[in-house]
């Protein structure tokens, strides 16, 4: 066991020597025996004794009580006085220095031993209490939850900073306040029997309870709280300890989570509705295609019916292609891969291209379209193709949601640094409650109506994304059902846009000139594992005057090239074994085939797919179903 270190401060040498011998016999280690207060301070600083035995009256300039005060400042060292004086003045002076003991001379060795042990134990106990209190105070000061002690009358006797922050009070404002001012009804909880609100261990020890409460802040606003209450007699001068947790953030998160769950459920519902609608939209064009194909099989059809069947098939394939393009755009949008390529474009040309794309739908429904654009040449810094797509989607929407022989109005006006392009119809209109989510993915005002008129609920989502990417906004207005609707796109506009040297003439309301589809005689190799696709495309090219060879995989293509001097090769990317990219690389690596024009034909149409085709050595990339006008142009080029 470690021996306690004791410093003796006594100005009478004989008494000091006797005291040292006694202490040694009692098992203590004397670290010094000094005669003055100054020496006592120096020795205490050097040896850090566990206890000091101090005479009150000492030689030197300072007495024992003053020296004791200096020593305690050094390091919380307990002092026990040894003195022959017991007059009131001495007692009062000694008491003010808060000693750990007071022994009157002469004293017995047993008395000395008892006083030293009591002083050492008391000092150790007080140190542990201080450390515990400091630890508790640190916990209370740093805790995020509020902590308070409440006495049996419901008066707050102790709080931590967090409690003040929760209720909007300063700490001192809370001390002495009735707890019911903060927690109405808290007193009733304190009055309940422990068995009703406290959790107990097997030996009956109370662990506490947790309840949700509504608290009242200083500004009288109410907040949700969680209270953990424990009965702790004697602790912090209170009979109860309450831990208060602010639930505002948790409640807010719960509400946000609940809202998110509802949104996900709604998205899931829309997804199911979308899949059902997609099936409907894909089956719709397939029905007339099948009918036309059946008619074409008859030998007795005349030229008018033959032409009509061909037009039906062409229109329905175009409709399915538009559906596929919308789906691809949605895929790009959700992955953040949709890009726009801005340049100076003529507004009139953009509008004309949009009308050309929608012309079959407009004419098929017997609608009329009026166009009102600003006078003169109006240029925009935008992606012309994407902007035409936006206007085409809005015009198509207007055409679909009107009865036959309806009217559509497209107008544009300059509004300061913006240009507003509006598409107005006099159709079925939009219910006010649906307007806020009109541009959300898979959003449909009435799924039954949508199915009857066509639509996947993604066109307007594509519109918003394309407009956002070009730094613009889009909004919808409708006075309600049967009141028609107006969609307005606003884009940045610069009045000092550069003028093109050659004025672009609008083709609006002019008949579309027939485009040449025939290609000059070419030697073309078609490579596609879909034999029906390869044969039908080959038949078309032969009608154009081309000499055609077919291959259904990469080895077959390489073998064909050895015996067939092809000018061009149309290669499917998804070939079995060696894919189309690898085949293109192998063709480009052979000197005898370097002059062949390579055209990729595939169902993949992302920007990254175009880049991969270019890197593999393809000259062009066409997405299926192939646009025959584009193919003819490539073969002529």
Q: What confidence tens digit (pLDDT) does each residue in 522-565 have? A: 899 999 988 888 888 888 888 888 999 999 999 999 999 999 99
The pLDDT of residue 172 is above 60: yes
* Alpha helices (H) along 297-383: 303-334, 347-365
Q: How confident is the model at residue 202 (pLDDT cuts 50, 70, 90)?
A: very low
The pLDDT of residue 14 is above 80: yes
Lowest mean pLDDT among 36-40, 342-346, 391-395, 603-607: 603-607
Please report how many Cα atoms fall inside a 13 Å half-sphere around the Cα of residue 205, on the Cβ side.
Answer: 4
The pLDDT of residue 367 is above 90: yes
Q: Does domain 523-636 have CATH number 3.30.70.1380?
A: no
Tokens describing residue 265: 């459920």
Please report how many Cα atoms fall inside a 13 Å half-sphere around the Cα of residue 523, on the Cβ side.
Answer: 9
Contact assessment for residue 429 and residue 483, using Cβ atoms and an 8 Å cutoff = yes
Neighbours of 202 (CB within 10 A): 5
Tokens describing residue 13: 């040498």
Please tell me the distance from the alpha carbon of residue 306 to that of residue 291, in angstroms, as a whole number.
12
Residues contacting 382, CB < 8 A, separation 6+: 340, 342, 343, 345, 350, 470, 491
Please tell me the distance from the alpha carbon of residue 271 to that of residue 169, in angstroms, as a whole number.
51
Q: Please, which residues bridge with residue 421 across strands?
A: 412, 489
SS3 assignment, position 14: helix
SS3 assignment, position 50: coil
Q: How far is CA 10 from CA 81, 106, 212, 449, 610, in A?
A: 10, 14, 65, 108, 101
| Among 158, 148, 208, 209, CA closest to 183 | 148
Pairwise pLDDT comparison (589 vs 502), residue with the higher score: 589
Q: How far apart are the first and last CA of the chain?
A: 104
143-246 falls under which CATH superfamily? Answer: PAS domain (3.30.450.20)
Q: What confidence tens digit (pLDDT) does each residue in 427-457 have? A: 999 989 888 888 887 666 554 434 445 456 6
Please tell me the distance from the alpha carbon of residue 152 to that of residue 334, in angstroms, as a whole number.
61
CATH of 5-138, one of 3.90.1150.10, 3.40.50.2000, 3.40.50.2300, 3.40.250.10: 3.40.50.2300
At 136 the pLDDT is 77
The pLDDT of residue 622 is above 50: yes
At 484 the pLDDT is 92
Contact assessment for residue 474 and residue 467, using Cβ atoms and an 8 Å cutoff = yes
Please tell me the distance from the alpha carbon of residue 612 to that of residue 521, in angstroms, as a whole number.
29
Contact assessment for residue 207 and residue 198, using Cβ atoms and an 8 Å cutoff = yes
Instruction: Scan for tokens 């690596």, then name that residue.
Output: 589
pTM: 0.46
Tokens describing residue 11: 């100005």
Q: What confidence tens digit (pLDDT) does each residue in 472-530 have? A: 999 999 998 989 999 999 999 876 666 543 433 333 333 333 344 555 558 999 999 88
Classify domain 333-492 at the CATH topology level: Heat Shock Protein 90 (3.30.565)
Q: How confident is the model at residue 368 (pLDDT cuts 50, 70, 90)?
A: very high
The pLDDT of 280-292, averaged and rounded, is 75
Sheet holding 418-425: strands in order across? 368-372, 407-415, 418-425, 485-492, 473-477
Please tell me the distance from the alpha carbon of residue 454 to that of residue 284, in angstroms, as a whole number.
9
Q: How confident is the model at residue 394 (pLDDT cuts 50, 70, 90)?
A: very high
Alpha carbon 326 to its chain's center? 26
Please tell me the distance from the alpha carbon of residue 241 to that of residue 208, in angstroms, as a whole number.
9
Percentage helix, strand, coil, to 5, in the chain? 45, 20, 30
Please tell me the distance from the alpha carbon of residue 51 to that of residue 498, in angstroms, as a whole number.
95
In eight-state DSSP terms, residue 593 is G
Q: How far is CA 90 from CA 15, 51, 85, 229, 230, in A?
A: 20, 21, 7, 50, 47
Q: What confidence tens digit (pLDDT) does each residue in 41-90 have? A: 999 989 999 999 998 888 888 888 888 888 888 878 899 988 887 788 87
Q: Which of 97-101, 187-191, 445-449 is predicted most confidently?
A: 97-101
Q: Is 429 left (phi over 0), alpha (psi -120 to 50) or beta?
A: left
Query: 160-195: buried (b, 16+ CB within 10 Å) or exposed (e) per residue?
Result: bebbbebbebeeeebeebebeebbeebeebbeeeee
Residues contacting 37, CB < 8 A, separation 6+: 9, 58, 60, 61, 62, 63, 64, 66, 67, 70
At 531 the pLDDT is 86
Pairwise pLDDT comparison (91 vs 571), residue with the higher score: 571
| Among 183, 140, 147, 180, CA closest to 163 | 147
Instruction: Scan for tokens 């109005």, then name that residue.
Output: 409
Contact assessment for residue 486 and residue 478, using Cβ atoms and an 8 Å cutoff = yes
| Among 295, 293, 380, 298, CA closest to 343 | 380
Tokens describing residue 79: 């002092």
At 373 the pLDDT is 93
The pLDDT of residue 206 is above 90: no
Contact assessment for residue 550 and residue 526, using Cβ atoms and an 8 Å cutoff = yes
């Amino acid at each position: 066991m470690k021996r306690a270190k004791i410093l003796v401060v006594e100005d009478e040498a004989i008494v000091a020597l006797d005291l040292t011998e006694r202490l040694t016999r009692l098992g203590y280690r004397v670290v010094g025996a000094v005669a003055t207060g100054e020496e006592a301070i120096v020795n205490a600083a050097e040896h850090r004794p566990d206890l000091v035995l101090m005479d009150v009256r000492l030689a030197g300039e300072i007495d024992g009580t003053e020296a004791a005060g200096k020593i305690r400042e050094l390091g919380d060292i307990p002092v026990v006085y040894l003195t022959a004086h017991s007059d009131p003045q001495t007692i009062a002076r000694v008491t003010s220095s808060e000693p750990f003991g007071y022994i009157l001379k002469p004293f017995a060795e047993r008395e000395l031993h008892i006083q030293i042990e009591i002083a050492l134990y008391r000092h150790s106990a007080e140190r542990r209490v201080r450390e515990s209190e400091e630890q508790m105070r640190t916990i209370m000061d740093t805790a995020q939850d509020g902590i308070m002690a409440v006495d049996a009358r419901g008066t707050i006797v102790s709080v931590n900073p967090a409690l003040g922050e929760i209720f909007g009070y300063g700490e001192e404002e809370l001390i002495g306040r009735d707890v019911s001012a903060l927690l109405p009804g808290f007193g009733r909880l304190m009055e309940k029997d422990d068995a009703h609100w406290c959790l107990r261990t097997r030996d009956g020890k109370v662990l506490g309870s947790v309840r949700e409460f509504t608290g009242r802040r200083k500004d009288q606003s109410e907040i949700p709280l969680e209270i953990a209450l424990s009965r702790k007699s004697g602790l912090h001068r209170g009979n109860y300890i309450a831990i208060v947790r602010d639930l505002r953030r948790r409640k807010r998160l719960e509400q946000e989570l609940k809202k998110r769950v509802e949104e996900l459920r709604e998205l899931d519902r829309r997804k199911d509705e979308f899949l059902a609608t997609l099936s409907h939209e894909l089956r719709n064009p397939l029905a007339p295609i099948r009918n036309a194909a059946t008619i074409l099989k008859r030998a007795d059809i005349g030229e008018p019916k033959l032409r009509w069947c061909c037009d039906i098939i062409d229109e329905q394939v175009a409709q399915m292609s538009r559906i596929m393009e919308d789906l691809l755009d949605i895929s790009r949008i959700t992955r953040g891969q949709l890009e726009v390529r801005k340049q100076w474009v003529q507004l009139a040309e953009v509008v004309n291209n949009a009308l050309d794309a929608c012309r079959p739908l407009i004419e098929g429904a017997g609608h009329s379209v009026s166009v009102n654009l600003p006078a003169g040449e109006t240029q925009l810094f935008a992606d012309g193709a994407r902007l035409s797509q936006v206007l085409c989607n809005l015009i198509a929407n207007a055409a679909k949601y009107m009865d036959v022989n309806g009217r559509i109005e497209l107008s544009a006006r300059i509004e300061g640094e913006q240009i507003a392009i509006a598409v107005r119809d006099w159709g079925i209109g939009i219910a006010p409650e649906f307007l806020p989510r009109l541009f959300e993915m898979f959003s449909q005002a009435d799924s039954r109506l949508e199915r009857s008129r066509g639509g996947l609920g993604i066109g307007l989502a594509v519109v918003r994304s394309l407009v956002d990417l070009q730094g613009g906004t889009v909004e919808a207005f409708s006075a309600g059902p049967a009141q028609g609707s107006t969609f307005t796109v606003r884009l940045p506009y610069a009045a000092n846009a550069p003028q093109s040297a050659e004025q672009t003439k609008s083709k609006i309301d002019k008949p579309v000139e027939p485009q040449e589809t025939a290609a000059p005689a070419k030697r073309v190799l078609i490579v596609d594992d879909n034999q029906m696709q390869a044969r039908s495309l080959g038949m078309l090219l032969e009608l154009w005057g081309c000499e055609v060879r077919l291959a259904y995989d990469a080895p077959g293509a390489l073998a064909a090239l050895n015996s067939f001097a092809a000018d061009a090769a149309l290669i499917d990317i998804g070939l079995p074994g060696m894919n189309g990219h690898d085949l293109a690389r192998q063709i480009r690596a052979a000197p005898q085939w370097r002059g062949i024009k390579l055209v990729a034909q595939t169902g993949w149409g992302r920007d990254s797919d175009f880049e991969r085709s270019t890197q593999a050595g393809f000259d062009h990339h066409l997405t299926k179903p192939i646009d025959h006008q584009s193919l003819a142009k490539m073969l002529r080029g």
